[in-house]
Amino acid sequence: MNETSIKIAGVDLELLTANDGGRGDGAILFLHSGHGYDPWQSFASQLAAERRLVAPSHPGFGKSSLPSWLDSIDDIAHIYLELLDRLELAQADVVASSVGGWIAAEMASKAPERFRRLVLIAPVGVKTGPAEKLDIPDLFAMPQSDIDKLVYRDPGRMTADLSKLPDEALATVFRNRESLALLVWEPWMHNPKLKHRLHRVQAPTLFVRGDNDGVVSDAYLQAYARLLPNARTVTIADAGHLPHLEQPEKLKAAISKFLET
């Protein structure tokens, strides 16, 4: 992976790339979850194999800056559309996780012609259920142990002791968390307008969910997928909200199969 940066709309965007000389029309844009880019690195580069890979850290995540005007997922979607322009990527495939999936959905609703195929892994971003129940559990209003149970199939195996991280890495964890809160706080984890725009998305879209995901329910995933004209869903067995961590091989197989057809 190559680490570079690019300035877009005043944001110093951290950019991780691979196979930069690869064909532009075969590029994968990789959009990370609210945890930030780091946990994804090996997965994304393996997934890309020989293809060109572009993986930005979202504004306020990793080493990307966060200007004072920026406070929504919609803002980031515009910045990333400009990123495609700047990198001269006429069209790309997108693989995106959780809040990254929300960014991807916003982008595809604005500029459907820029996307060949979309893979949305446990995406958030729409409101599909009744007003009196949160579609996505309130992850900022529960103990960490409860969050871990929702996020992982096997929390005992997956969770790490944060206090053992060096200061810089720990600071990144807290900064990512703060930036996530800024972006998703209200309305909680969704843009009320998005579901009225998704019918524009023409690209074949794969919605993926771990069968033990406590954050994104199966009903939510199915309802989300129905908003797009050309979407289907797949379940990854024995995984939670972050199947790339718990079942990387199964997930890679499912994504590769979809992108190659």
Partner 1 sequence: MQAWHFSETAYPYLPPAETYPSIRVSLPNRIYDPHKGAALYDRYIDEWLIAEDEGIEIMLNEHHQTATCVDPAAPLMLAALARLSKKARLLILGNPIANRRQPVRVAEEMAMVDVLSHGRLDAGFVRGVPYEILPANSNPVRMNERHWEALDLIVKCWTHHDGPFSHEGRFFHHRAINIWPRPIQEPHPPIWVSTTSTGGAAQVGGRGYIQATFLTGFDTTKRIYEAYRKGWRDAGRSHDVPIDRLAYAALIYVGDNEARARAGAEKLLWYVQANKVPPHFSNPPGYVPVAMNVQLARGAHNVVSSYGTKQGTVDGAIEAGTMFAGTPDQVFAQFKRHWDYVGGYGHLLIMGQAGFLDHDDTVHGIRMFAREVYPRLKELYPGTTVSGFTQAAQAAAG
Q: Does 131 bind partner 1 (CB under 8 A)?
A: no
Q: Considering only residues 3, 42, 72, 170, which one is a binding residue for partner 1 as defined by CB under 8 A?
A: 170
CB of 45 to partner 1, least distance (A): 28
Q: What is the contact mask toward partner 1 in residues 33 to 72, using x (rule: CB under 8 A)?
A: -----------------------------------xx-x-
Residue 88 or 168: the one with the smaller Cβ distance to partner 1 is 168
β-sheet with 205-210: strand ranges across: 2-8, 11-18, 53-56, 28-31, 92-97, 115-121, 205-210, 231-236
Whether the bond between 248 and the residue before it is cis, its omega within 30 degrees of 0, is no
**Bridge partners, 233 (sequence order):** 207
Quote the least distance from Cβ 80 to partner 1, whole Å: 21
Q: Report the helix count and the strand count for the chain, using DSSP H and E.
A: 9, 8
- Nearer of residues 158 and 182 to partner 1, judged by Cβ: 182
Eight-class DSSP state of 58: P
Token pair of 122 as six digits: 């446990």
Return the residue of 50, 85, 140, 230 that touches partner 1, per CB under 8 A: 140
Q: Residues in contact with partner 1, total (CB under 8 A)?
A: 23
Q: At its nearest, how many Å lie between partner 1 and the CB of residue 139?
A: 9
Q: How many CB atoms lie within 10 A of CB 66?
A: 18
Q: Are 59 and 36 in contact (CB under 8 A)?
A: no
**Least distance to partner 1 from the beta carbon of 70, Å?**
11
Taking the complex as a whole, how short is the minimal distance between the CB of residue 54 and partner 1, in angstroms?
27
Cα 130 → chain centroid: 24
Q: Which residues bind partner 1 (CB under 8 A)?
A: 68-69, 71, 140-144, 162-163, 167, 170-171, 174-175, 177-182, 185-186
